[in-house]
Amino acid sequence: MGSILWVPLAFLISGIWLYVLSINLPEHTGSDRSALKFPRNFDDLTALASLLKDYKSDNMQYVMLLFCSAYLFKQTFAIPGSFFMVRGALFGTWRAFPLASLLTACGATCCYLLSQFFGKSYIEKFFPEKVQFMQKKVTDNMDSLFFFLLFLRLFPMSPNWFLNMASPILDVPVHLFFLSVLIGLMPYNFICVQTGSMLSEITSLDGIFTKETTLKLFGIATVALLPGLLINKLKEGRLKTN
């Protein structure tokens, strides 16, 4: 296993890459480049979505590169934030949904690989009880491991960032890990993308609480819960999660 110092080095290189992309954004009349940052609130989110929409009309490839790089950066290093909602506002639901699902799986797999090569001993050192708990669950469900991994994403026993980092320690094969994230987080990604698409049309937070918006959000959540109900039904007969 390599030194843990490779992780901050990878973080630094990735951050420099994003900075280079941001300062070389093509010129666009009337655009406010100060909005080009990870959003911390609703106003930042709408400003960033508006900026990228303006650039997208003439610089689609560059905006796609910038968006994918930022998304993978946040997923790889488990950085929280509301940036995920920009995808729906920027590309629309049916383009953003498969893109977000793929980028989520790729970013999580990068996190998995960083942990596998540079961080396994540290995860075991700082989270021994969680690792032991998850190891027992994986061992108990080895005969239906893929369905158990899906269950963990739909009904997490631990945060997703911890599952990403701990999976190499649990001897979860990388191909099963990738597929379980791709499929298991589809409901979550669908909710975020569709919500982001809706929020891009709202000018203030007061617009979220209208009857029409509330009904739409309820419908989105209902559709997204269907895969979870299916896996939960499967759990009753095949998975050991108690």
What is d(CA 239, CA 219) in angstroms, rounded to the nearest whole number? Answer: 29
Angle of helix 186-199 versus helix 93-114 axis, rounded to 10: 130
**Residue 36 backbone phi and psi in degrees, to 5:** -80, 85
Please tell me the pTM assigned to this model. Answer: 0.80
Task: Express each pLDDT in 171-187 by its tens digit.
Answer: 999 999 999 999 888 88
Query: 197-218: string of b/e by CB count within 10 Å (b at 16+)?
Result: bbbbeeeeeeeeeeeebeeeee
Task: Express each pLDDT in 73-128 by its tens digit.
Answer: 999 998 876 555 566 667 777 888 889 899 999 999 999 999 999 888 888 888 88
What's the chain's average pLDDT?
A: 78
Residues 6+ apart with CB under 8 A from 67: 52, 86, 87, 90
